[in-house]
Amino acid sequence: MQVFGLLGNPVSHSLSPPMHEAAYEERGIDARYVTFEPDTEDIEDAIVGASALGIQGLNVTIPFKQDVLALVDPDDLAARIGAVNTVDFSGRKPTGHNTDAAGVRRAFAHHDVALDGRAVVVGAGGAGRAAAFALADRGMDVVIANRTVERAHDLADEVDGASGHGLDALEALVPDADVLVNATSVGMESDETPVPPETLHADLAVLDAVYTPIETRLLREAAATGATTIDGGWMLLYQGVAAFERWTGRDAPVDAMNEALRARI
């Protein structure tokens, strides 16, 4: 039996196990997906131990995405983003990857959104970094807005052609945007939005990384203008799809994974 899993603290809330196990069942793979919750100071021992025990792959979540970067051989994208969320143990040394970026791109692709023009990314944390690099690598003009403007400037300095702003700039930035990504936790289990509703418009595609609730206030207000709306479940799904495909070398059963995921959101 192959073993894959999730490394984080806490991880009891994770929706990854049912999603991945649905994929193993659909593809007839003898595997299990389990969760691991080491103490924060034990992350290096956790990676070494996973390798020694023959675990094939790990997803990595808060608070370990940056810590793991120094413990594996990261690919170029993970190194640029500065975070690893997927570890592959199939080689002589564990390799690190960031499938959050793939999650962003494939969520837009699933909704037939062309990634050209201007993208506004709200948030400069882990999800914001992945989104900014993913969209810039597709040739989009990326602008980053963050509550702490210095963090927006710092991220913009790392992303080709990007610019950084405070949240107060959204009023001017969003009306001219083609794509909008909320990569903050605003709206998670609360009826709030980081984006002024009057700035939303019908030519916009809006991805909200929040998936609890699945329909956030931002998405409701965007839909009311005729904008294309993409809930956070799609980003979660497609980052898992990318991890499955990297670990197994097989096409992921996207429909089965999505059905398992949405049954639990």
Instruction: Give yes or no: 93 in active site.
Output: no
Q: Rounded to an integer, what distance in angstroms lies between the CA atom of residue 53 and that of residue 61?
A: 20
Task: Judge contact between 57 and 88, C-beta under 8 A.
Answer: yes
Residue 153 identity: H
Q: What does the angle CA 211 – CA 168 – CA 144 come to, to the nearest 5 degrees?
A: 60
Considering 65, 80, 97, 129, which one is annotated as catalytic? Answer: 65
Q: Rounded to an integer, what distance in angstroms lies between the CA atom of residue 34 and that of residue 199?
A: 43
Task: Judge contact between 198 and 208, C-beta under 8 A.
Answer: no
Q: Rounded to an integer, what distance in angstroms lies between the CA atom of residue 104 and that of residue 208?
A: 10
Cα 4 from chain centre: 19
DSSP per-residue letters across 197-218: GGG--TT-EEEE---SSSS-HH
Catalytic residue annotation: 65
